[in-house]
Structure 1
Amino acid sequence: MAAAARLRPSRGVLGVVLSVFLICGVAAYTPDDNYLVSCGSSADTQVGQRRFLADASNPGAVTLTSPQSAAVEASPGAVPPSLRDAALYRTARVFSAPSSYALAVRHPGRHFLRLHFFAFANEAGYDLAAAATTLEVSTQDAVLIERGLPASAQGQDAASSSTPVVVEFLLDVARDTLVVTFVPLDGAVAFVNAVELVSVPDDLVTAAVPLQTAHRVNVGGPAVAPDGDALWREWTTDQGLLLDSWSDAVTREVSYNGTLSRQPGQATVTDAPDAVYGTARELVLMSNSTPGKKQMAWQFDVDAFSAYLIRFHFCDVVGKAPHQLRINAYVDGSNALKDIDLGNGVLVFPFYKDFVLPASAASGKLAVYVAPWVNEIVMPAAVLNGIEIMKMHQSAGSVVVVEPARRAARSRLAVVVGSACGAFAFVAIAVALAIIILRKKKKKGSTEEETTKPTQTQSTTPWMPLLGRFSIRGAIEPAGPPSFSTATNTLPASPMAAPAATAVVPSYRFPFAVLQEATNNFDDGLVVGQGGFGKVYAAVLPDGTKVAVKRASPESRQGAREFRTEIELLSGLRHRHLVSLVGYCDERDEMILLYEYMEHGSLRSRLYGRGHAACLSWAQRLEACAGAARGLLYLHTAVAKPVIHRDVKSSNILLDGELTGKVADFGLSRGGPEVDETHVSTAVKGSFGYVDPEYCRTRKLTGKSDVYSLGVVLLEALCARPVVDPRLPRPMSNLVEWGLHWQGRGELERIVDRRIAATVRPAALRKYGETVARCLAERGADRPDMEDLVWSLQFVMRLQEGDGLDFSDVNSLKMVTELRPPTPPRRQREAVDCETGSVDEGDGVTDDDYTDASMRGTFWQMVNVGDR
């Protein structure tokens, strides 16, 4: 028997089985959104069991915005009658300028967007074949098709005039309107024959990025047309995909004509129809099969250097008893699935398994293998029922959005109505202002965000799953009537106020499976840090981007509030000296944040010589601190309502590959005072040793609180010793007290880190000491603004770079025994035993080996906020 021989049941039997599946295996599913648009047609088009509505004669939920478009019909004979759904491809809408279809979304969530293209010949003279290679398609959030249709979409030729191309995307739509814009490029035109938008169950696939269907195959079974699928998907056969040369075994197509045993919580008919799970390709092993080739193999054309989500569909339709059929699956040499029990205690039990493949090889080929779990002759050996390969679509271009004309009309109507009612509006505004002023007087002194009742080191938000998933995305409407706008995939400058110009914000929600793959299932060997929130892992995303993955632990004292604050804040802020948010994941009750990877870790770790990293020079320390100050200045001044970090410390200042200082960890950040306010009242939060004492006493938060915390960091960078060291007597145990003591005496050089002391110029040190002292002033009013602090640090760097200055002769500057002042025994005991109440430590101690209790016992200069 030939190695590639296949045993098939008779076509008559298989046809009967398929008919039963089509009748009974597609459960009724009614989508909230189900738009079927026949483009360029003057009449509705019946396609199978579905009716596509003409785009020009059905106004309402679908709006065509096409300043320069034409409805084009195919030339006689250009659409072969044998072509399936031929009626859908006899017309097209052709665009000579950017144009769009706007579809009202009733149910935000996951939707299939299908775009139909058929480059037919036409008497109007449009070269649609050329247009297929140049057009661009985008939504408000992403560029879906960039510079021409995919070279291969479900095995179809994009530029062929005889083969339709259906490009399918699975999108997470969070808007009330999805605008699909078609853009002609290079002087050509753009076109489309039909548009489908169908809402699907939100748990169909959990992925943050858009997914583009590359292949959907009914393995071992016949093709399934859209009418045979609950979500109107098309399933092709695996003919032409099976690699005969990879197997010495025989494969055969099998089918099952009974009722499938679908289990609760497992695959439903919306995941795949019975026509897929009831048919399969089975591996038949022979006694002479070569070791290592006891497997079935398929090869698929894919885009090189792209990541893919691969879904395997299984149903044991050949086993005689449970637990009899166990298989392994491999993708491009990776062990995708290992020892999968297809019976799992129940026969004919449909289920699926997902696997995320990072960027593929340059060949653009993807191989899938299925084999028995042991390398020996076993029967039944292996089966596969279906496979879906979905490209994780990463948009790199600039989106083009053509808003529907009705929005512009609505804007003009608003202007007319506003003019007619001007007098009434003036009176209403005056009354509203009076009410606001009265309410402000009543609210004065009350907290805006949190209760002022003191707590004793309790978490502000307990560990809990997020209540209601959220994605950081949105469409910011233009202020004026123009309906055409272009925007890149960047974020608005601020989360506090919407910019006047149109912006497009993509989703940053990553699937958990991607992060598992990137971190090798959160391998402790990849941990690069750990704080109060949880562990931080070094990881590489499928596109090659290196990121830091911070995963909350169940024991974390920070919870959903801090998680959400960080996402909402960083998704709207971008600055060279702020650590950028790459994304987040909240699947499976996880709280995971992804940041740009900072090669040199934290300023704290570099100051204390953790690992084998070289000591930072004085100039590098200055530059890192100045960078942090610039980042904080951006937070304080970039938006109308400032953002106060509240957790500035050396472990939250990270260093990139060029040792540029960037501010990180915004979980405790909050909005600052309004223009007419001096402060905001809130419970005390921050990290022990860095918190502003005035903020602790009064609970009044201002930008000067960040100035104080950065002043502590400046002193720490100069001396390279912990802010609080309980091993030392008071006042040496507290760096702020100790540093101000020597600065007051004009002898700050005596406590400079001896590793850099010889390089610190006296003039620079004098200015630096004055700056530190001003930042650490007891009253916030006496401290500089962040802008002044940035200027002072830049001036210090200028002084440090100057020539002709003498150095101080400093020897053994960190020998604490030589600098220890006499301390009465009673004061020493008091320093150890005194408790100062509750300061929420946030992400707290990460590098020190001292307990929180010991540190609280030495932070004696702060008032006992627990008694207030």
Structure 2
Amino acid sequence: MRALWVAVGLVELWLWLTSTAHAQFVPKDNILLACGAAGSTNVSGRTFVADSSFAQGGAPRSGSIPTSSAANLSSADEQRLYSTARVFTAKGSFSIGDLTPGRHWIRLHFLPFSPDLAAALFSVSADEYLLLSSQSVAGEIQAQARSISSPALLKEYSINITTAQLTISLVPSPGSLAFVNAIEIVSIPDAAIQDDGQLVGQGTQAFLGMARAALQTMYRLNVGGESIDPSLDSGLSRRWIRDNPFLVGAREGIPAPKIEDITYPPLLPGFIAPKSVYGTARTMGVSDLINTQFNLTWTFAVDSGYSYFVRMHFCETVYSTPYARIFDVFINRLPAVKGLDVVVKANGAQTAMFMDFVVPMNDGGSSMVVELGPSPGNGAQHNDSILSGIEIFKVNNTRGSLAGSLIPPGVDLSKDDGSSGGSTGIGAAGIGGAVAGGLLVIGLLGAGLCFVRRRRHPGLAKGKSKKKKSASWLPLHAAGNGNSTSIASKFSTGGASNKSGATVASTATSSLGGRFFTFAEILEATNNFDETLLLGVGGFGKVYRGELFDGTKVAVKRGNPRSEQGLTEFQTEIEMLSKLRHLHLVSLIGYCEEHCEMILVYECMANGTLRAHLYGSDLPPLSWKQRLEICIGAARGLHYLHTGAEQGTIIHRDVKTTNILLDENFVAKVSDFGLSKTGPSLDRTHVSTAVKGSFGYLDPEYFRRQQLTEKSDVYSFGVVLFEVLCARPAINPALPREQVNIAEWAMQYQRMGALEQIVDANLKGQCSQESLQKFGETAEKCLAEQGIDRPAMGDVLWNLEYALQLQEASSGDSSGMILDHSATRAGDQMEVPLRSSADHQADYHRRLGSEDDFEDASASAVFSQLVNPQGR
């Protein structure tokens, strides 16, 4: 009897969970504002109230919507909503209180009904997040016309609000206006955005932190179906549009027959997407033979420099049995899903399912391409694919920005805390004018900027905990006693001028290490950051060629306040490089952090990055011997980091060909220590940390487990080895799908014993078979899936030296050989696959002293991240 009651209870619990999950969602917060309206407006059963009790600043305005625009609005109620607006000539805001903490929609509605509103340029922020920057509403409305018939612009964001108060600020650009017609603040179920997903190209499920991210809705398509009005969308009021405008290629497939009977699994909430999305779909639908010749393809315009959260909705509405169609999904030509059978994955036909992906767009591309095509060799009954819906969201960057362009000059979107007196910050244009006006003006403006920012963040200046501001850019002394004087100005000579007018160099050093440079010295060395001296642009900022007063050639890396990197990377690089001394690592000359600038100064390397000598430039190709010597040098630098540094193991975390620099003699040096981490203590095997690095070089085990070891560097170096051998990028979406990822592609040829088929054409006839074989074996070991199966960097170094020895033996030329003979014993045999770490460790420490003889404190240092910086 007891078992019976337990069974009845479980059934009731199951029914309750099912009914709860699939019930219409009712938001806890549902604040709808008709901006500038005198009273309420009802639109499709939703009541928008007057905004007067929420607005701070601005003035209400009403007008007549152009006839052409009014005709494309769905109702007279919607026309009435867009015929009023709140207009701002200076910074204004909306303050919304008594909110329930959690994820919310923030929807902003725009329709300019007068010429001055059509010309408006302005920015919008929500608490610490920048939503719009230098926004031209009229321009965006024209851009969306091909896919959405509505004349109004809807900007939709999903933000996890952590307090009961939300402030939305609007800031007009100088000489312009800001306006908004309507605002929605609506609760979203926490389960709507889940924390895990797949990083495209890695192929594994992982926790990616999406539940905490701020998102902007870029696209929401009902694939194969018609547009869906917000009033018909599961209580979340989302607008779904047709996918036809985004299809590309001669073959667009066909819509699948629409069905009504859709099943939601017990753990899939009904609000994920309505039945009208899952009940329609697009298939290839031509013939099994023709379908093998093309993919269903959609393309979407996106902003480069962001990651994107992509959700795909699937439901098998045609076939009822497994193995009817099995297909692959690609995003930007990288595999997202291989061998997907929707019936198997969803555990039934006509059953809803979705999959989440994260897609970095850090390579300068402005479009995202989604493709579906039959999966070859999987035994499916039909060569076909199917998709029901797709949603694409932009993910906020580390600065808390979702804006596709930079903050306009003169605009400061920092949230006032009562102590700022309403003053505005100083933009880049102001600083540029000060440079032209003289160094004194620069000093005054820079000091003023630091002062304003410190007043706006008093808690930070005192070391107190305050609500996180993603876009803060503070000097190294910001956590000190609040004094506005920088570290450099406290200790340097001040960069005074001598009688001839030349700046006298500062000579002081600090506890951080390196020499202080005044900002005046930096300006003189770079001719006021003359763009003709620009060497390149990286993740930290621009790099300029410069010359110090004593004639020393330098590379000056100037931090960009809006870059992905900031104070932490700046301080890490200084601290790391000041304590490291090795022939194959960079040596920092000094830095400047006056006037809220973050500048690193290195001695300029004559031959730039390794990548520039492999592809993408007109530089002469490197010989096989040169490539081996460069790889050996880089391996020596990394081995020193892992085993020889006084502070213990140091893990670089961003090993790639742009971070290996070459001096005038093509000696390799490892650079860019902004992401470096100290390794685990003796009683630990790893460091648990957030995943950082560059796409294409990232250790998959580190990504999956967020556990960092020195073997993560080994994996990245394995990618570098194949990049050196094949002279092509680590990731190249323009290539056929099987060649996009160099690690996967080269490993296939290595395992087949056919590595010589993909060697750089410039190396044909140069590589001995034995040397190439040893090189390939070494790279293969580095790319082992599990870190425990990868060799130590010391073993990698020894095997590369051995590969060079084999090459020299084959050519009969031992001149100029970069090979430490103490590390190569006469008894070593060619068939030894990888030397043990213990053997090499003893050799390494015996020769460490002799290597130091070639190093001094002013050894050549380098700039980093000059060409094609990858995602951080």
TM-score between the two structures when normalised by the length of structure 2: 0.46
Structure number with higher helix proportion: 2
Larger radius of gyration: 1
Q: With structure 1 as the length reference, what TM-score do the two structures score?
A: 0.46
